[in-house]
Chains A and B, each alone.
Chain A
Amino acid sequence: MPSLLELKNVSKIFYGAKGRRVRAVDKVNFSLQKEEPQIISLVGESGSGKTTIARMILGLLPPTEGGIYYLDKDIYAMDKNERKEFRREVQAVFQDPYGIYNPFYRVDRVLEIPIKKFNLATSKEDSQRLITEALEAVGLRPKDIIGKYPHQLSGGERQRVMLARLYLLKPKLIVADEPISMIDVALRALFLNILLDFKNKYGISCIFITHDLSSAYYLGENLIILYKGRIVERGKTNEILTNPYHPYTKLLIKALLPPDPEKRILTSIGSDVRLNEDIAPYKENSCHFANRCPSSMDICREKAPVAVKINEDHEVRCFLYDEKG
């Protein structure tokens, strides 16, 4: 069945000094279907490989192993026309609302370039109209934005202009890499709502990359939990969060701070959950979570676990559930 985007056994190995090898991404597989727009959240901490995956999907970093396919075409083997179509239909919003702007130019350029490069307008007036409409669609006043330089706008405004850019382009797929972690809480809600509107009103799918489970929960649908380059649990968001299997998922859920003073977990945390950071090196052929896992067994340090299907909507990679292990 043709998919919108598919990652097949994708790995990325970085080579450091003294011949050190780091498998930042380890044989990751997932896909988005073509028929219905969908949102899939990739949740992981720093070091999980999530940003590396984002860059590979966006065509910025070729995988060391495996392939990434857009509409069944390998994105690193596309010709010029296929590439143009890919770029037109797969777009991104990044984490840093500061670094994403070239300080030399006004912010309008960020909206003008896609129009020019992808022939979205027929004339200068048409182009202006599109820009105004896009800015208003994300709640900005055009006269406050047009003609300004990046340093004259706030972080929230800058990130919203990026959303306006997506509104202009109306791609088929948005890769959002930690888009809300550097903006204020009030704006985060707006941002998430806009992503949902994009899907519902314009059929735009989204890969939402974050370390924050609660925003993944708000967006709903599908969830992939990443730990040190591997997918450890995946499935429907609701299913996983009400019924987590992997010890790491459980840890993430436990670490979520409920915004309710009546439900305090921090002050009674004790040491039942092993919170020590994992700075010890781990072997490639083992479960990467073993050093921190409260339920680790011998086999966890000797072999890498394989995926086990819990049900139609739920898969986990952990020896606790692997009868064959």
Chain B
Amino acid sequence: MKQTQLDPKLIIGGIIIFFLLFLVLFQPLLNKAIIGDTNPLTVGIFPMYEPPSLRHPLGTDRFGRDILALTLLSLKYSLIVGAIAGAISTIIGIIVGFSAGYKGGLIDTILRGLTDTILVIPSLPILMILSAYVKALNILTMAIILTIFSWPFSARVIRSQVMSIKNAFYVDLAKINNMSDFEIIALEILPNLLPFLGVSFAGSVVGAMLAATGLEVLGLGPSGITTLGMMINFAIGQGALSMGKWNLIFPPIFMLVLVFLGVQLVNMGLESTYNPRLRR
């Protein structure tokens, strides 16, 4: 008997994520609608410190930039950085997690040692130092730096999932069919972990975004673009808090909250769909 009832958390979270993706995909068009063909980063186009109005729904900042357009662009870049970091992280996590989980023994011990060591290192100070020293901090380098500390999380979790499946009887059958280890991992175990890996990837993306935001708020962000964290950094730098200009700082925070909320709701919704005992 298959229960086809979808948990409402899953639906709401899904809507939020679709909404955010929509914003990102259509950012160029939306940008055009708000400020025409201008790049939102260009300074001096619009009047400074405009309060929210019909023309500029969220007002403008110290450099005369439309906040709404800026927010949308920042959301896009934040997600891109997060997605790249999340993807690399998940791939490394898959390679390490599968190897350690499936092979066990010495390989497992070595990889686990490596994973645990990195997990123990305090990431933020190191990331700060790294970001400060890297000369040209662009999206890719930022993503790579973030990956250094986030891959162990996915590796650990993927490893335990693999370990729980590798003892399945159908894995025995695959061995009897003379399938190689690689074939077994790729064809027998991996497909059953796809939903799990999807969730793991989403988690990595959010983790990377939050770590990136932490760095960016401190001023350590990639140059030439804008991200949600950098917006917050600018806003604080422009005295948004002391001057009470909430329209400068609230939008990026709201977007971050939405991302986090969306992914969390989807996670919780998926968990309770697959584990009916958690359902109310």
Contact = CB atoms under 8 A, between A and B. Distances in A.
A118 B188 CA distance: 18
A105 to B, nearest CB: 8
A91 to B, nearest CB: 6
B170 interface: yes
Give the bracket for the number of chain A residues in contact with chain B. Answer: 20 to 34
Given A103-B192, A104-B191, A104-B192, A58 B176 contact: yes
Nearest to B173: A100
B172 interface: yes
Contacts of B188: 102
SS class, residues of chain B in contact with chain A: helix
Interface in B175-200: 175-179, 188, 191-192
Interface in B145-192: 168-170, 172-179, 188, 191-192
Given A102-B188, A103-B192, A104-B192, A87 B170 contact: no
Contacts of A18: none
Contacts of B170: 99-102
Indicate the member of B168, B170, B175, B179 with the most A CB atoms within 10 Å. B170
A151 to B, nearest CB: 8
B178 A84 contact: yes
Interface string A99-138: 1111111000010011001100000000000000000000
Contact of B169 (A59, A84, A100, A113): A100
Nearest to A98: B169
A310 B103 CA distance: 47
Contacts of A102: 168, 170, 174, 188, 191-192
Contacts of A83: 178
A60 B175 contact: yes
A209 interface: no
Contacts of B175: 58-60
B172 A87 contact: no
Interface string B190-218: 01100000000000000000000000000
B192 A99 contact: no
A114 B177 contact: yes
Given A102-B192, A103-B192, A113 B177 contact: yes
A88 interface: yes
B191 A87 contact: no
B176 A92 contact: yes
23 contacts: A58-B175, A59-B175, A59-B176, A60-B172, A83-B178, A87-B177, A87-B178, A88-B178, A91-B176, A92-B172, A92-B176, A94-B172, A99-B170, A100-B169, A100-B170, A100-B173, A102-B170, A103-B192, A113-B174, A113-B177, A113-B179, A117-B177, A117-B179
